[in-house]
Amino acid sequence: MTTFMTRDGTEIYFKDWGQGQPVIFVHGWPLDADMWEYQMTFLAAKGYRAIAYDRRGFGRSSQPWEGYDYDTFADDLEELLQKLEIQHAVLVGFSMGGGEVARYIARHGTRRLAKAVLISAVTPLFIKTADHPEGVDKSVFDGIKAGLAADRPQFLSDFSTVFYGTNRPDSKVSAGILTQTLNIALLASIKGTLDCVTAFSETDFRQDMPAFSLPTLVIHGDDDQVVPFAATGKLAAAAIPSAILKVYPGAPHALCFTHKDRLNQDLLAFIQQD
């Protein structure tokens, strides 16, 4: 496997396909780099260098006890980009990974980046607070953690219903995709899986958003039952200077699969845009 060691001794797995301008993919919870296989194969075949990695505690990366916070995630990403000597990259984050994109830009700047993409992202703030009433109530995240602690495999299997929107009458998600998703999710550390619920729900990225001083594309489904558009993507696009917002009608959270052809074309067009 292709891995590198972080400053605190955590081994991070990554895949690096193709040649050309780099496109860096940051996965969602509780998945790993494999969630991007349709986007990576598409862009690598179009002449781009597609890179994705498994967040610490997930997939084929090692499973430390600590470090499941966005400052650490952003620093891990910077170490990867240093190792690969990345410049002029497009940084793409899905769901929880959108927070990593935001914190990376705020913490490490844009010197290695050309553009950014947020897909179904948790930015700028996921949880409901007094000054963010559109957010999701804390009880929902407490319920997720309780379900994981009680029976992680069954909880994650059930979670696919809202993740892919299979409770909608026009859903066309195969049993194979649901099996693959569960298999990927179960590779993760239960400690990392639990700690990341706190991280992605409670981390406030509102102060990070003005740091997006580069072209940014925000993509979100308006039927996202996991990360509601009105509480996240809509506000993120409004907070980022000159952001381009694309709303996919009827799309669920996991549009990297359910709407992969449209997403691939939108990513390619944005990357190629002057």
For the chain, what are the domain ranges? 3-272
Out of 27, 34, 253, 266, pick the active-site residue: 253
* 39, 264 contact by CB (below 8 A): yes
Please confirm whether the linkage preceding 252 is cis (ω < 30° from 0). Answer: no
Does the structural domain 3-272 have CATH classification 3.40.50.720? no
pTM of the model: 0.98
Query: Measured between alpha carbons, how far is 104 from 41 in angstroms, rounded to an integer?
Result: 25
Q: Which residue, chain included where needed, has tokens 């039952």?
A: 225
pLDDT confidence of 27, banded at 50, 70, 90? very high
Q: How confident is the model at residue 240 (pLDDT cuts 50, 70, 90)?
A: very high
**Confidence band, pLDDT 50/70/90 cuts, at residue 88:** very high
Q: Residue 1: is its pLDDT beyond 80? A: no
- At residue 9, the pLDDT reads 97
Write down the pLDDT at residue 238. Answer: 97
pLDDT digits (tens, 9 = 90+) for 109-157: 999 999 999 999 999 999 999 999 999 999 999 999 999 999 999 999 9
Which band of pLDDT confidence, cut at 50, 70 and 90, is reported for residue 167? very high
Q: Is the pLDDT of residue 242 over 90?
A: no
- In this model, does residue 52 exceed pLDDT 80? yes
Decide if 274 is catalytic.
no
pLDDT of residue 40: 98
The answer to whether 193 and 57 are in contact (CB under 8 A) is yes
Which of these is catalytic: 95, 160, 189, 201?
95
pLDDT at 206: 98
Q: Which of 54, 76, 208, 224 is catalytic?
A: 224
Cα separation, 99 vs 33, in Å, equals 16
Residue 224 known to be catalytic: yes
Provide CB contacts within 8 A for 207, sequence distance 6+. Answer: 106
Sheet holding 22-26, edge to edge: 3-5, 11-17, 49-53, 22-26, 89-94, 113-119, 216-221, 244-248
Place of tokens 């569960």: 182
Q: Would you state the structure tokens that stand for residue 174, as one six-digit string?
A: 């195969």
Residue 142 annotated among the catalytic residues of the structure: no
Q: What is the dihedral of CA 184, 190, 193, 195, to 10 degrees?
A: -170
- Stretch 45-62: mean pLDDT: 98
pLDDT surpasses 90 at 45:
yes
Confidence of residue 96 (pLDDT cuts 50, 70, 90): very high
